[in-house]
A and B are shown apart, each in its own frame.
Chain A
Amino acid sequence: MTTAKTDEVVEEQAAPSTPSDQRERDRMRRRLARRRGGGWWPYAFLAPWFIGLFGLTIYPMLDSLYLSFTNFDLLTPAQWVGMDNYNKMFTEDPVFWDSVHATLLYVVVSVPLKLALALGVAMLLNRDLKGIGLYRAAFYLPSLLGGAVAIAIVWRQVFGGDGLFNDFLAWFGIKGQDWISSPDTALYTLILLAVWQFGTPMVIFLAGLKQLPKDVYEAAAIDGASPVTRFFKITLPLLTPIVFFNVVLQIIDAFKTFTPAFVISNGSGGPLNSTMLYSLYLYKKGFTDLQMGYASALAWVLFLVIAGFTAVNFIASRYWVHYDD
């Protein structure tokens, strides 16, 4: 393939500049025709991707858009109800607002904490120590386990009334409570779980830190800049593109969080809907309460909200993200 391509480029460049004899041109035309005849090959290789895109993404999305205007219950045919689902959501569904509240709180608290921790640890790990690879792996490990159901179950045990966390507090003479089953603290155990899984942004930060020019730091050190000054005046500004990338990804991820909330609350979103993250509510509506039309409407609202947040991020980034050139 590569050689053919180079050939073609050469010929195309050559063609106008050397309008030599007819035979030469015929030969070229034949070659191009042969190549065009073989043009379906790339598409054949791309086909699985196209089938996936249309069959598993675009078609289901359009279908769910249609269903969001129906009262589809999975078992009987869908009936058109217009904007009913959307109206109901905003006007008469208190649980919807509970879930919006829980999700926004989750996003707003967990994302900055997670990124701050990720950056902090990335800076610690950006050194030439003996066995540094091992440390890096160790810090990344929670993220590998993160999405797993098992970890969420462990979390439930750790923060339960007779869990490890309270045993730990007991050493300091503090009497704990059941963190998972109190409406005031349950969501924060989920946030803690999210923050603990800082591995992915950490690796990205680490890669970014490795790219920073050493000479700038050397110059700053000679000028007597303190480590704190160096961090805020050099590291952070130079790293803003990476920070931006992580912010966008993590916000999107946080909005979609499902598994830990589902497992830790036993699928209930409780206590008192305090852990009813949006995706969990959507799932409950669709598969447990058999309101797939309503769930589809919820999904589209989520889609629009995530798109909105991302757009705002991109617009705001003009004012704080610095690119080299």
Chain B
Amino acid sequence: MGHQISRRTLLRTTSGIAVAGALGSALSACSGGTGAGSTTSDLTMIWWGSDDRHAAYKKALAAFQKKNSKIKIRETYSGYDGYFDKFNTNIAGGSAPDLLQMDTALVAQYARKGVLAPIDSYVGKSLDLTGFSKTLLAAGTVDGKLYGVPSGIGVNQLTVNRTGLEKLGLKLPDREWTWADLKKISQDVYKKSGGKIYGVDDGGGSTLQCFEVFAREKGETFFSDDGKKLGFTPATLQEWWEFWADMRKVNASPPPAITSAAHNDLTKNAVVIGKALFSFDSGIYGAGGSITDAQLDFLPTPQGDFSGAREGNFVNGGVLLSATKASKKVADSVKIMSFFAQDATAIKDMQLLRGIPPTEKARNLIASGLTPTDKLNMENADYISQRVGKATNALPAPVPPPQGADQIWDLLFQSNLAVAFGKKSIKGQLGEFFDQASGILGG
């Protein structure tokens, strides 16, 4: 639930209806949203998410306004589709919202372009970040300045259909598992199901969920620290693609048509349609609950099984709350951020809807009210963050992705698909990938 909570998950949770929905909300937002920076004294706040998250935000904000009656908040919310398109247009048109839910994957880009307000000067005064770890705050820190308050711990997890696994007489793998273990159990799934179910959805093009972890196990990052280059070598990517080509060959992973259909559409995810039991896409059980009826469980991304392998997992920041630079109400926005970070009612309202709560105190607050699956989710996330915390060989948490990162992720996905559909050889696609990637990051 790292970046993908913020990006893929929410984008996909809603995507079925989102196209129609986003258009609708975009229209309604247009009519109401233009007054943001002008005469009205309302503070405008925008976020994306599922219906459950919308309801939770509204409830928490109502509680905030009870205590701060002077601050009037105008709320606008939608699915992920079109959210940033609209935000960009608003910024360009001079009608930026005051406070927004920000994507950890995009915060660097907006901060560097001067869209977001730095909020360091409020920390310890109106912004209470007690209990937030430094690694967690790194998710909102760009070039040494804080541009957003993380909503919770985000870690990469595999989502597992435990019911399905048990039906085939297979056991949930140990949390300390390796890529070879993943291959083995995925093959077992295919065999025991009589060729009806593949093991794990194709991770060859899955950036945030797994390739980044694999690269870090090799001691390489996804992006260089300055964000101007890729941080991994062609050899690493080649090994990665070869692993997944093999996975497809032995039917551990589904054929490309299934992978391709799931792109940007969570409802077509291999686990959701019953074609696989393991998924790197934690959106199946993301903010807003599960979209399958199966009992789910969670596992860390597998570990490297080669010599010198390092801890590849890392902790990220869920989504962020950020204020815009053009806003005249940054101080008020910061009060709201602080409220979501520390207030007991807000924490209880949000539950896991914006990721695993960021502080020990908050986690304890919600622990008793969680559903069984939420509990499993939180336990595994806890396990990963503790393991990462103890690891001596782990790389520092990744830098916020640079501008163009979206295009690189998409390129990785499409490249893996081109190989899987047999349109390109791994070697041929490798050259193209690095050529295009350097063009995107350099230009």
| Residues on A facing B (Cβ under 8 Å) | 73-76, 88, 92, 94, 149-150, 153, 160-162, 177-178, 180-183, 262-263, 266-268, 270-273, 287-290
Contact = CB atoms under 8 A, between A and B. Distances in A.
B258 interface: yes
Contacts of A182: 257, 260, 421
A52 B417 CA distance: 46
A183 B260 CA distance: 9
B436 A180 contact: no
Interface string B34-45: 000000000000
Interface in B226-266: 256-258, 260-261, 263-265
Nearest to B407: A289
B417 A271 contact: yes
B263 A287 contact: no
A180 B261 contact: yes
Interface stretch (B51-59, B87-95, B130-138, B394-402): B87-95
Contacts of B404: 289
Given A73-B113, A75-B113, A178 B258 contact: yes
Given A76-B114, A266-B264, A289-B407, A177 B15 contact: no
Interface string B372-407: 000000000000000000000000000000011011
Contacts of B417: 183, 270-272
B436 A270 contact: no
B423 interface: yes
Contact of A153 (B19, B115, B403): B19
Interface of B: 15, 19-20, 23, 81, 84-85, 88-89, 91-92, 110, 113-115, 256-258, 260-261, 263-265, 268, 273, 403-404, 406-407, 410, 414, 417-418, 421, 423, 432, 436, 439, 443
A270 B260 contact: yes
Given A162-B273, A178-B258, A181-B261, 20 more contacts: A75-B92, A75-B115, A92-B439, A94-B436, A149-B23, A160-B268, A161-B261, A177-B257, A181-B258, A181-B263, A182-B257, A182-B421, A183-B417, A268-B263, A268-B264, A270-B260, A270-B417, A272-B418, A287-B85, A290-B403
Q: Which of A73, A266, A268 has the most CB of B within 10 A?
A: A266
5 contacts: A181-B260, A268-B263, A270-B260, A271-B256, A273-B414
Contacts of B20: 149-150, 153
A74 B89 CA distance: 7
Contacts of B92: 74-75
Given A74-B89, A288-B406, A267 B81 contact: yes
A174 B382 CA distance: 50
A181 B81 contact: no
Contacts of B258: 161, 178, 181
Contact of A76 (B81, B113, B421): B113
A74 B88 contact: yes
What is the predominant secondary structure among interface residues of chain A facing chain B? loop
B406 A289 contact: yes
Contact of B423 (A73, A162, A272): A272
A64 to B, nearest CB: 13
User: Which of B23, B256, B257, B439 gathers the greatest number of chain A CB atoms within 10 Å?
Assistant: B257
A178 B257 contact: yes
Q: Which 9 pairs, one residue from A and one from B, show the smallest C-beta to C-beta distance?
A: A266-B264, A181-B261, A181-B260, A271-B260, A287-B85, A74-B92, A178-B257, A75-B113, A181-B257
Contacts of B273: 162
Contacts of A273: 414
A1 to B, nearest CB: 38
A288 B432 CA distance: 22
A270 B421 CA distance: 13
Contact of A287 (B89, B403, B410, B423): B89
A99 to B, nearest CB: 13
Contacts of A266: 15, 19, 263-265
A288 B263 contact: no
Nearest to A148: B20
A75 B260 contact: no
A76 B326 CA distance: 13
B7 to A, nearest CB: 13
Given A73-B113, A153-B19, A270 B257 contact: no
A270 B19 CA distance: 16
Contacts of A289: 404, 406-407
A75 B443 contact: no
A183 B265 contact: no
Nearest to B23: A149
Contact of A271 (B407, B421, B439): B421
A74 B258 CA distance: 36
A268 B423 CA distance: 19
Contacts of A160: 261, 268
A74 B95 CA distance: 13
- Counting chain A CB atoms within 10 Å of each CB, the highest count among B84, B88, B417 belongs to B88
Contacts of B23: 149
Nearest to B16: A153
Nearest to B265: A266
Nearest to A156: B265
Given A266-B264, A268-B410, A88 B443 contact: yes
Contacts of B263: 181, 266, 268, 270-271
A290 B106 CA distance: 12
B19 A263 contact: yes
A88 B81 CA distance: 28
A290 B443 contact: no
A74 B263 CA distance: 27
Nearest to B81: A267
Contacts of A73: 113
Contacts of B403: 290
A86 B89 CA distance: 24
Contacts of A267: 81, 264
A242 B265 CA distance: 43
A289 B268 CA distance: 25
A181 B257 CA distance: 5
Contacts of A272: 414, 417-418, 421, 423
Given A149-B19, A273-B414, A287-B85, A183 B421 contact: yes
A283 B89 CA distance: 12
A92 B20 CA distance: 35
A73 B403 CA distance: 11
Contact of B257 (A149, A161, A262, A290): A161
Contacts of B257: 161, 177-178, 181-182
Contact of B414 (A88, A92, A270): A270
Contacts of B115: 75
Contacts of B256: 181, 271
